[in-house]
Chain A
């Protein structure tokens, strides 16, 4: 990614700060944080659904379950996201 997180960004050699460029960095950081949150929660949920008595390693069925669980978690995420968005719009329409 151009500019990186630690470098001088959003300004071109002594020029003014560019809100657009700053926001690009902000959005990236937010996206990274969100992905971390998603993975942590997904891992939690899928561990609970897929791993019964923890054995010496993840067997085939457990690994398959984890893969499917991840896909279903993201499907569920989208469903919930849509439902929430619809509800917000309905509430706004009623105001």
Chain B
């Protein structure tokens, strides 16, 4: 029984032959954990896209406390905005359906 993982030439997909049931479950668990981490990182990139422009003027020797506070607040206010929009949009859609 072949148990190797082989990368097809020219493709980036792995073909898995045999994985024990326990190993497959373990792998799924580990992959899910990495996906969660990757989602977090992607979100941080997105925050940086918005908050850098809002908070950082001319790059100096260090970030002063005003800039640091601005960056932290920026994250919180963006999340608050997301929540506000989500909830209001739900209301709008609900009213529209009546």
Q: CB within 8 Å of A: which of B46-71?
A: 47-49, 51-53, 55-56, 58-63, 67-68, 71
| Residue A68, interface by CB 8 Å | yes
Q: Known contacts being A17-B19, A76-B63, is A10 close to B5, with CB within 8 Å?
A: yes
| Residue A47, interface by CB 8 Å | no
A32 CB, nearest partner CB in chain B, Å: 12
Seen from chain B, the residues whose Cβ lies within 8 Å of a Cβ on chain A are: 3-7, 16, 18-20, 23, 26-27, 30-31, 34, 37-38, 40-41, 43-45, 47-49, 51-53, 55-56, 58-63, 67-68, 71-72, 74-76, 79
Distance in angstroms between the alpha carbons of A2 and B59 in the assembled complex: 39
Q: B52, A84: Cβ atoms under 8 Å?
A: no
Interface residues on A, range: 35 or more
Distance in angstroms between the alpha carbons of A23 and B5 in the assembled complex: 13
Q: Report A27-46 CB contacts with B as 1/0, cut-off 8 Å.
A: 10010001001100100011
| Residue A83, interface by CB 8 Å | yes
